[in-house]
Amino acid sequence: MKTLKVALLGCGNVGAQVARILLEDASELAARAGAKLELSGIAVRNIEAKRDVELPRELFTTDALALIADADVVIELLGGMEPAGELISAALASGASVVTGNKALLAVRGAELGALAAANGAQLRYEAAVAGAIPILRPITDSLSGDRITKVMGIVNGTTNFILDAMDTTGAQFADVLAEAQALGYAEADPTADVEGHDAAAKAAILASLAFHTDFDLADVHCEGISSVSAADVAAAADAGMVIKLLAIAERLEAGIAVRVHPTLLPRKHPLASVHGAYNAVFVEAENAGELMFYGAGAGGAPTASAIMGDTVAIARRLVADAPVIASGVRGSQPALRFDQIATSYWISLRVADESGVLSRIAALFAEHGVSIELLRQSVVDSADGGSALLRIVTHKSTEAALAATVAAVGKLDVVKEVTSVLRVEGN
């Protein structure tokens, strides 16, 4: 199997997680990529600095250019315009492919770097740059390449969504919530790029370029932040059944493409209105597909590293002739569980005789089968029926086998008139 040398530039929040995944999951990544992904080195400013992840010291270097010169794939996670731009250019010029999450750089120099990649037969991928872990750029460029996108509308900045959501739920003022977000580590010490919409505008330029097959840069994006949104605005929106979200919007109008970022009123029933906290989501409208929504973590070390790794595997698969056609495994390599081995939580409804000792007999049967009860509620007493009580039991996770045996045993009790329903519960 071919080995590809992967050079990592930067070992901060995201870089440290990328290094960890490359080392921990090496054999699985090789199987998916069709090539070994060898972490050839990590360029840092200070080799002795303390990091989130313990990594072999010999991987570290302060000579990024030497590392790049020897690499097949370069992962840039320094952030900022320089030296990131210069190092990415050097990598692409040498024919190495590049993965980056650097939206600030791409929103200004994306077209130029894309052209440099094309001229050198290199790939430039940047799924992490927009909405972190959420796969959105590849769905737009690959999955929807046979359709015509008409509008992209996203919550692409977690900090501002956290602030607006907290204002909506608590009624607090912007400045108070910002201070809280900073204390919790959601907002940066200098929150300007997030709060004034600049981060979202960079992502809007990238989304618009890919969705509409045209190069847009930051200067094409109208940008307003959320610092002037007041508690009164949020309350008035709530009164009208609306919520205020900072949206990045790119849409095809008759005369051209409009790209903008601003606080926007959304009806509460819109799917984007249900995106809470620091989560991100992107809503896409396409002529044939209709409406689609992509939702998940827009930031964080490991989530963002997931997107970086996906791009790295995608690059490797195009670099090796014998890459697997689909990135899935071999049948039998993971056991397929029988249904009775699955553990889940259940909601069981019973109609029982309304007399003393019934609850304890039923509870004893659950205990005997090792099924733990989370909630038991006697909801309705039906006197027309000789005294029936309706019981609702919600269980902790247990196996289908244990549940089936419990329900069978409970159903046989003389005091149980009927097992009305057994439903499985997810997401509680």
Ligand X SMILES: NC(=O)c1ccc[n+]([C@@H]2O[C@H](COP(=O)([O-])OP(=O)(O)OC[C@H]3O[C@@H](n4cnc5c(N)ncnc54)[C@H](O)[C@@H]3O)[C@@H](O)[C@H]2O)c1
Q: Which residues are catalytic?
A: 203
If one counts every other C-beta atom within 10 angstroms of the C-beta of residue 340, the result is 12
- Residue whose tokens read 């309304």: 354
Burial of residue 241 (number of CB atoms within 10 Å: 0-12, 13-18, 19+) = exposed
Structure tokens at 9: 């530039």
Q: Are strands 343-353 and 290-297 parallel, antiparallel or unpaired?
A: unpaired
Strands, E assignment, 170-227? 222-223
Angle between helices 103-119 and 198-211 (to 10 degrees): 30
- Per CB under 5 A, the segment of 210-218, 238-246, 301-309, 408-416 that binds Na ion is 301-309
DSSP letters of 379-402? EEEEGGGTSEEEEEEEE-SEEHHH
97 interface partner picked from ligand X, Na ion, ligand HSE, none, CB below 5 to 8 A per type: none
110 interacts with ligand X by CB under 6 A: no
* Binding-site member from 132, 225, 301, 310 for ligand HSE (CB under 6 A): 132
Q: Which of 7, 73, 2 is nearest to 40 (CA)?
A: 7
* Binding-site member from 4, 6, 7, 15 for ligand X (CB under 6 A): 15
Interacting positions 280-339 with ligand X (CB under 6 A) = 299-300, 304
11 interface partner picked from ligand HSE, ligand X, Na ion, none, CB below 5 to 8 A per type: ligand X
- Per CB under 6 A, the segment of 156-164, 249-257, 360-368, 375-383 that binds ligand HSE is 156-164
Interacting positions 136-165 with Na ion (CB under 5 A) = 136
134 interface partner picked from Na ion, ligand HSE, ligand X, none, CB below 5 to 8 A per type: Na ion
- Residue number, 32 or 245, with CB nearest to ligand HSE: 245
Q: Which of 7, 19, 1, 10 is nearest to 70 (CA)?
A: 7
Structure tokens at 412: 């046989």
Handedness of CA 55, 59, 60, 65 (dihedral sign): negative
DSSP letters of 215-265? ---GGGSEE--STT--HHHHHHHHHTTEEEEEEEEEEEETTEEEEEEEEEE
- Residue number, 19 or 133, with CB nearest to ligand HSE: 133
- Minimum CB distance to ligand HSE, residue 300 (Å): 8
- Residue number, 159 or 264, with CB nearest to ligand HSE: 159
Interacting positions 34-53 with ligand X (CB under 6 A) = 43-45
- Residue number, 134 or 358, with CB nearest to Na ion: 134
Binding site residues for L-homoserine, as ranges?
Answer: 188
Tell me if 44 sits within 8 A of 64, measured CB to CB: no
Binding site residues for NADP(+), as ranges?
Answer: 9-16
88 interacts with ligand X by CB under 6 A: no
Number of residues lying near ligand X (CB under 6 A)? 23
100 interacts with ligand HSE by CB under 6 A: no
135 interacts with ligand X by CB under 6 A: no
User: Nearest residue by C-beta to ligand X?
Assistant: 12
- Residue number, 161 or 395, with CB nearest to ligand HSE: 161
43 interface partner picked from ligand X, ligand HSE, Na ion, none, CB below 5 to 8 A per type: ligand X
* Binding-site member from 72, 76, 165, 194 for ligand HSE (CB under 6 A): 194
- Per CB under 5 A, the segment of 80-88, 109-117, 135-143, 236-244 that binds Na ion is 135-143
Tell me if 157 sits within 8 A of 199, measured CB to CB: yes
- Residue number, 76 or 168, with CB nearest to ligand X: 76
Tell me if 316 sits within 8 A of 73, measured CB to CB: yes
How far is 335 from 22, CA to CA, in rounded Å? 25
If one counts every other C-beta atom within 10 angstroms of the C-beta of residue 121, the result is 9
- Residue number, 282 or 391, with CB nearest to ligand X: 282
Binding site residues, as ranges?
Answer: 9-16, 103, 188
Burial of residue 157 (number of CB atoms within 10 Å: 0-12, 13-18, 19+) = buried
Where does this chain bind ligand HSE (CB under 6 A)?
A: 132, 157-159, 194, 199, 298-299
Where does this chain bind ligand X (CB under 6 A)?
A: 10-15, 43-45, 64, 77-79, 83, 101-103, 128-129, 132, 299-300, 304
Where does this chain bind Na ion (CB under 5 A)?
A: 127, 131, 134, 136, 307
